[in-house]
Amino acid sequence: MTVRRTSPSRGKNSPEVTGFYEPDTGSIQYVVSDPATKKAALIDVVMGFDHRSASTDTAPAQEVLDHVTAKGLKVEWILDTHPHADHLMASSWLKERLGAPNAIGTKVAEIAELWRGLYHTPDAFDVERDFDRLFADGDTFRIGELDVRVMLSPGHTLGSITYIVGADAAFVHDTFMQPDAGTSRADFPGGDAGILYDSLQRILDLPDETRLFIGHDYGTDERDQPEWEATVKEQRDHNTHIGGGVSRVGYVERRTARDKTLALPDRMLHVLQMNLRAGQAPAPEADGNSYLKIPLNRF
């Protein structure tokens, strides 16, 4: 069973947030709900994927659904922050079971165009077909009585978005990590360390007590238990990469040097082909099976 932890509502216009830590990829999945109406959204939910056998399973997403059922929540939105490179998204699987619309950022269309070239699949990835809503910077919607604002937060990818929910919660995906771990990498196609710095600063402009919920945690040498929540003030003051007023030049130098030491995620070339289809496999071929295409010597 995954590690699960709930951050309670602080009162009016404050959501309850339950995070589920998925240990295979270090990903955190979220259920964000309005206590007044019991309406909810699911954010960055994971499908299991074994890159060795190219097989999928539904266990992580099913655990999230079991929580929704146990709490008596009504899911209004299935949300992703970006096309993930390290886990398979559960967007389409959840939509089939819940009937709720799925959504992601509008610049995912540009990410899809980039990866059509890398995979040499010119007709692949119809994001307007596979996602019900493509959010632009500044778009708004509601979860129950909670207002949600979308903020473009590129750098890790060129189309990553943050969801700011109610008065005091923001889902900041692969921008910040926990203060003792720093920030996320920016070396994938379409990523940029300087642009990531600008996105981090924009998030730090939120009110000090805003709860920031991150996309991944891998622990540290001093901490082996997963964590995924910190306030804006805690990140601004203590983040090991950017806290205390690090300059843009200094950040870019450090982030770039760190990224040069990192290997590609072991699922990346597999799952991006599905995540750009909202987590669906490519259409079956004549034998009834779906196939993935892996580019050789491109990375």
Decide: 214 and 173 in contact? Cβ < 8 Å: yes
pTM higher than 0.95, yes or no? yes
As given in the structure block, the two tokens for residue 212 are: 């920031």
Q: What is the mean pLDDT of residues 141-154?
A: 98
- d(CA 167, CA 33) in angstroms, rounded, equals 13
Q: What is the pLDDT of residues 60-110, one digit of tens each?
A: 999 999 999 999 999 999 999 999 999 999 999 999 999 999 999 999 999
Q: Strands 161-165 and 169-173, how do they pair? A: antiparallel
How far the first Cα of the chain sits from its last, in Å, is 34
Percent of the chain at pLDDT exceeding 90: 97
Q: What is the pLDDT of residues 40-65, one digit of tens each?
A: 999 999 999 999 999 999 999 999 99
In this prediction, residue 144 carries a pLDDT of: 98
Which letter does DSSP use for residue 297 in this model? S
Residue 130: pLDDT over 80: yes
Decide: 160 and 175 in contact? Cβ < 8 Å: yes
Angle between helical axes of 248-259 and 193-204 (0-180°, round to 10): 120
Rg (CA), the chain: 18
Residue 185: pLDDT over 70: yes
Tell how far CA 62 is from the center of its chain: 18
In this prediction, residue 224 carries a pLDDT of: 87
Task: Spell out the alpha helix ranges (H) of 6-131.
Answer: 59-71, 91-98, 108-119, 127-130
In this prediction, residue 1 carries a pLDDT of: 52
- d(CA 99, CA 76) in angstroms, rounded, equals 9
- d(CA 7, CA 168) in angstroms, rounded, equals 11
Decide: 5 and 67 in contact? Cβ < 8 Å: no
